[in-house]
Structure 1
Amino acid sequence: MITADSLPGLLRGWSPSEAEGSKVVVADRITAEARTILKQVDWGWLDLRGHLRLTGPGLFVDSDVPAPEKPDADRQGIIGRVGIELAALLLLDPTRRIGVRAAAAALSRAPSSISEAFAALRGAGLVDEDNKPVVPGLFWELAEHWKPVGREVASIPMPGGRDDAALRLGMDDVESTVGWALADTVAAAVYGAPVSIRADHPPDFYVPDQVTLRRSVQLLGAAATAATRAGRVRVAPVSLVCARRMDATEWAAEEWPLANPLFVALDLAQDPGRGKEILDGWTPGRIGTRVW
């Protein structure tokens, strides 16, 4: 696996020939951070999980490609939904040593599934021998799997209104109930991340499930265009997003429950332009742990 930490030393050791042609790195895994560095120094790559980037005179390829077939026993990294859930759980408290059964109970998964997910993470060097996450490697690996699906809506509900129960807002006892979680750029600003947004920037929310998403679009209306949206609602990729929310009312002028900084950071990491820059300048203060 090639990471942002290992790449500079590797590049110094690779002396491309004077012959013209593309410079290409091939590895089983190349993290998102390492890919960004390769772009900056004009190297291409083949990530054997299934992505090829090549650049050169008159040449530009940046595309998913078929990954080599591997036996299930050889699969490593974040595998499937259980792998995504386990990675998120580990990154929420990276100093805590958590065993298979404790993780299975926290995620409502079978211990055998959690054991397999741990083995895949360990094989990729994303957790250590104590099952603690290797950071920031695991964060950036999870960021590549963080693909929430949602809809843009024409209006935003008013907390305390008649639709609270129907929409499962969960505004009472925020930190011990399930409900909507403010995320992405607006939440990042509340947490003090170096983002610049207008006062009327459309908020992004995570909702607990597909049923809540559909009901939200029905009651709030679908936005006619992206430019006219009042906000966006997305299904949380893992249930932990809506089950472990933060009440910011005591320290910020924000009535909406916030997603944990981990999940806000994963949202920011999806921006190929400024995401890495923002995360480089943000360390959570009151809540959360920097794992990026």
Structure 2
Amino acid sequence: MPTDLRPVLFMLISTLSLSLNGLMGKLLTDSFSIEVLGFLRFFLPATIMLLMLKASGWVVPNKHNSRPIIIRALCVVGSQLCFLATLNNLTLVESVVLFSTGPLFIPVLEKLMYRTPIQGITLMCLTMTFCGVLLQAGNPAGIELRPELLVGLAAGGFNALSQVTLFKGAKSDLPPAALNGWCFMLAAFIILPVATIKVFSAGSLLVASNPFDSNTLMVLLATLAISIVSTQMFRAKAYKLAFSGSQLAPLIFTNLLFALIWQVSFFDETLSINKVAGISLIALATAINTFAPKWLQQHRAAAH
């Protein structure tokens, strides 16, 4: 496996931005309907990325590059709507836990779609992270399959397909701003009719229970857009340097670690023993997946 740590660094920046994205989304579910917030989560970052693209040289996808963009746009719409639905019904940590199940599906999807070999160390790390996720989602009464939990798992499934498509798209000649900007703008247009109907039926852009003033809403929306742009740009850079999407899959679970920090800081959430155990297991799996290949390569080189 590659020993270049740049994909790891880029992925960690991406997951930190993703966790901030989840925090902003959780706060904004008190101000916007799921449909309207979903549109804003696509349109605002897409506008930023396409403006960046315009400044550096306008790039329009060709016929070859359009297919992964269209497929990924459909995937991110499904993933984000399911994720927002869970944010509206569950805590931030519970929602992120379910969304983070996506990497568990990535190696299988890559195997089915592209016949990419599954590394043994990746399987071991994914097994460890899966156990960590179960510890996070569990409680003394066990795991209850409520509808919102199933919706959260659907968000993870759509997320996995989105990441596999992003990995292949990142290997093309399109810059990250073009790959993600056009994808998100297309996703915004897909969800626009539903968001428009929701606004007209409610008679207002904001929900009646909106707790924020206009200035606070602007700050939250700006932070949301910037965090989404950062997530997508750095993740595309990470995938461009990686040899497969499943190589970086366990690192996506660090999003959960960051989300727990936000949960404790903003929502006064105490950590139970099972959550601490889950965090520790996920952190261990991430460390093994990141540093074990380099250690093995050095050990083999020393042996020769």
Task: Tell me the TM-score normalized by structure 2.
Answer: 0.25
Give the structure with the higher percent helix.
Answer: 2
Give the structure with the higher percent strand.
Answer: 1
Greater C-alpha Rg: 1
Task: Tell me the TM-score normalized by structure 1.
Answer: 0.26
